[in-house]
Amino acid sequence: MRVLVIHAEYFRYEVRERAIEDAEIAPTTRGEFSNVVVVFTTVEEGDGKAVNNLVAKAVEDLTNIYSKVKASAIVLYPYAHLSPRLAGPEEAINVLNHLERGLAEKNIKVYRSPFGWYKAFEIKCYGHPLSELSREYRGEEIARQSTTTRRYLIITPDGGIYSPEEYVFKPGEEDLKILTEKEVFKKELPGGKSRIFDVCRKFGFEWEPMSDSGHMRYEPHATAMIEAVKEYSWMVAKSLGIPVVRVMGTNMFNLKYRPIKEHADLFGDRLYEVESEGSKLVMRYAACHQQFAMIKDWVISYKELPLGVFEIADSYRFEQKGELVLCFRLRKFYMPDLHILLRDLNEGKNFSFKVQEKILDEMRKLGREYIAIYNVTEDFFETNRDYVVELVRRMGRPALITLYPSGVYYWVINIEYNVIDDLKRPREVATFQIDVGNSARFNIRYVDEAGIEKYPVIIHTALIGSIERYIYAVLDKAVQDESSGKTPNLPTWLAPIQVRIIPISGEFLNFAAEVLNLLLSNGIRADLDNRDLTLAKKIREAGIEWIPYVVVIGEREFKTRTLNVRIRSSNIQRVMTINDLLEVLSKDLEGYPRVDSMLPPYLTMRPTLHYLKELSE
């Protein structure tokens, strides 16, 4: 906060016209004073984060000036011309109100002209040494969210409840031990560089060097994978067996609106904030803001509940540089957020069993198992202990329980589902939480059987996790398979190129093109390697790209109209007809989306992709 302090023989102002839309209501349109300290005040961006500390400094200093010059009063005059870093209207008014109250508590007569108006003023300065002063006040910034105390338990599927200190880890519980050592005992985890980062780059997942830290770019292979997972996340959301509405929206929300500000404060300090036309906006960190802003305008009946609302939200979190992890911990990512509206907490608890089952099943399809952290508020745990135990029982593995003070967050339970990666580090992927606060905060209502409006309970979930974290889990599984001597693979539905056709020479190109067109017409991401390279080099490069099916066409295949197919997952070769191959692919792709390739089908039509060129050299 910056101020210009004038000890004035007289000071007069008159309100003329509104300067901003969010101007304060002006209680008076003019003021006239004599022998006053006029404090021309500019509130700067961020002053509200440490308002108490900042105002205490300002009050002490201004009180001292007021006493020395023996003024009759202090006039606080909002003044936007002392800094280019202006706070938004809500923040500025909040700081001015704090300052006014702080001075009044010192038994000083305080007046304040209204914020957000153009005003005419006259002033006559006394001209003594203390009559013109400038000041800058800085508060010590604090996080939006204070550190909360927590305690830990371990619950087993048979209902046993233990402290982490007393729990004896059994064979097969290495994942739980790793998670507990990190979360509870803050043990430093093993370092090293995982091969997954090379695999990410192999498929064109890279940091964007011309952006802020933590922002990625997606080359053609990566783009195909991202689009496939986006569509799959929508399919998974619809598979819960309830009506689901899909929406889209903006990624910037104004902190002047109370629900947005309160939700941001509860989220914490990992926020991107931007300024626009005098307002401070927050870049959304999930789909909550947009979906809740829409849902509050809907007319919803109990007959439509449970009701899902889905959006793939581009989300922003200001992660620390040292915590950024390619494909996993990012500052900008895609979140397939599903919010499920339910009548009450009891219905929310019952439906959460289905949500958890879906989350666990999706990771098991990848050949992996989750280990979970159940974040629960103290009061909810005390009254719903059997429910928490039932969640753990249905998961079939012991879980770490973190107990939080009641009322700290908008949720009563928030479950983080982790995999243990190649470096033996827990990595959170999917999540769900039961929200009991935001429907009232955003005024989301439904009408019950008696025609009474009620606030629903809301389940927040990312059933497969963020798009990038899901892909991280897939690639990390491949890396772990490779470390154990297996051939690393991608699921066929997720492979950027699903089939590559390699004619041995140009005389078989027409037949190869016929096969290509048939595959493309069936929604298969196929391409044709018509480059003037050796067969061995073409096959090796297909292997580098982990292409599930490589079709080699030579004279025998041309004459018999068959295909020599190399299958990556089994490391075998089979002779197939084109219909045989289509049948195998159809089985692989059952229940998964078919997304177009992001590259021209003929390799001679493509630019040289640097991320593949580096691997092939």
The DSSP 8-state label assigned to residue 394 in this structure reads H
Res. 141: pLDDT tops 50: no
For the chain, what is the radius of gyration of the CA atoms?
31
Distance between CA atoms of residues 10 and 34, nearest Å = 4
Nearest Cα to Cα of residue 340 among 252, 438, 259: 438
* pLDDT single digits (tens) 302-342: 999 999 999 999 999 988 887 899 999 999 999 999 999 99
Overall average pLDDT of the 448-457 stretch: 96
Q: What is the DSSP letter of 60?
A: H
**CA 610 to mean position of chain CA atoms:** 29
**Dihedral sign from CA coordinates of 292, 296, 302, 303:** negative
Q: What are phi and psi of 213, to 5 degrees?
A: -60, 145
Tell which residue, 73, 111, 81, 67, has the closest CA to residue 3. Answer: 81
Q: Residues 562, 552: contact at Cβ < 8 Å?
A: no
From CA 416, how far away is CA 310, in angstroms rounded?
20
pLDDT over threshold 80, residue 145: no
CB burial readout 599-613, b (16+ within 10 A) else e: bebebeeeeeeebbe
CATH 3.60.20.10 fits domain 151-475: no
DSSP percent split of the chain into helix, strand, coil, nearest 5 = 35, 30, 40
DSSP lists the bridge partners of residue 136 as 2
pLDDT tier at 234, thresholds 50, 70, 90 = very high
pLDDT at 509 over 90: yes
Instruction: Give the pairing of strands 499-503 and 549-553.
Output: parallel
Give the dihedral of Cα atoms 596, 598, 604, 607; nearest 10 deg: 180
The 10s digit of each residue's pLDDT in 524-555 is 999 999 999 999 999 999 999 999 999 999 99
Q: Look at residue 405 and give its three-state secondary structure.
A: coil
- What pLDDT score was predicted for residue 140? 63
pLDDT of residue 497: 98
The residues near 489 (Cβ < 8 Å, ≥ 6 apart) are 478, 481, 546, 548, 568, 569
Q: How confident is the model at residue 257 (pLDDT cuts 50, 70, 90)?
A: confident
Handedness of CA 512, 551, 470, 592 (dihedral sign): positive
Distance CA 92, CA 265 (A): 17
Least confident of 19-28, 405-414, 415-424, 577-586: 19-28
Q: Where are the domains of the chain?
A: 2-136, 151-475, 499-616
117-132 average pLDDT score? 92
Helix (H) or strand (E) holding 472: helix 467-483
Cis peptide before 601 (omega within 30 of 0): no
Residue 224 pLDDT more than 90? Answer: yes
Average pLDDT value for the chain: 92
- Report how far residue 287's alpha carbon sits from residue 411's, in angstroms, rounded to the nearest whole number: 16
Q: What percent of the chain has pLDDT over 90?
A: 79
Q: What span, in angstroms and rounded, lies between the C-alpha atoms of 492 and 592? A: 10
Arch. (CATH architecture) of 2-136:
3-Layer(bba) Sandwich (3.50)
C-beta of residue 349 within 8 angstroms of C-beta of residue 340: no
Structure confidence by residue, pLDDT tens digits, 40-83: 999 988 888 788 889 999 999 999 999 999 999 999 999 999 98
Q: What is the DSSP letter of 131?
A: S
pLDDT number for residue 607: 92
Take residue 19 and report the two structure tokens written for it. 């300067």
Q: How far apart are CA 390 and CA 444, in angstroms?
A: 30
CA distances from 516 to 318, 521, 549, 578 (A): 45, 9, 13, 10
d(CA 458, CA 228): 28
Distance between CA 230 and CA 203 in Å, rounded?
17
DSSP 96-115: HHHHHHHHHTTT--EEEPPT
Three-class SS of residue 184?
coil
Q: What is the pLDDT of residues 590-605, one digit of tens each?
A: 999 999 999 999 999 9
Residue 143 pLDDT level (bands cut at 50, 70, 90): very low
- Which residue is it, tokens 């096969």? 515
SS3 295: helix
Give the mean pLDDT of 448-473. Answer: 97
Q: How confident is the model at residue 377 (pLDDT cuts 50, 70, 90)?
A: very high
Burial class (CB in 10 A: 0-12, 13-18, 19+), 392: buried
What is the architecture, at CATH level 2, of domain 499-616? 3-Layer(aba) Sandwich (3.40)
| Distance from C-alpha of 184 to C-alpha of 181, rounded to nearest angstrom | 6
Q: How far apart are CA 225 and CA 592, in angstroms?
A: 12
pLDDT of residue 408: 78
pLDDT (tens digit per residue) in 159-178 = 999 999 999 999 999 999 99
Strands 446-447 and 399-404: what pairing? Answer: unpaired
Query: Shortest CA distance to 263 belongs to which of 234, 232, 287, 241?
Result: 287
Q: What is the pLDDT of residue 26?
A: 73
Torsion angles phi and psi, residue 148, rounded to 5:
-105, 145
**Rounded to a whole number, what is the largest CA-CA distance in the chain?**
108
**Are 370 and 430 within 8 A, CB to CB?**
yes
Residue 374 · residue 341 · CB < 8 Å: no
* End-to-end CA, the chain: 58
Range of weakest confidence among 84-98, 129-143, 335-349: 129-143
- At 615, the pLDDT band (50, 70, 90 cuts) reads low
Dist CA 221 CA 284 (whole Å) = 27
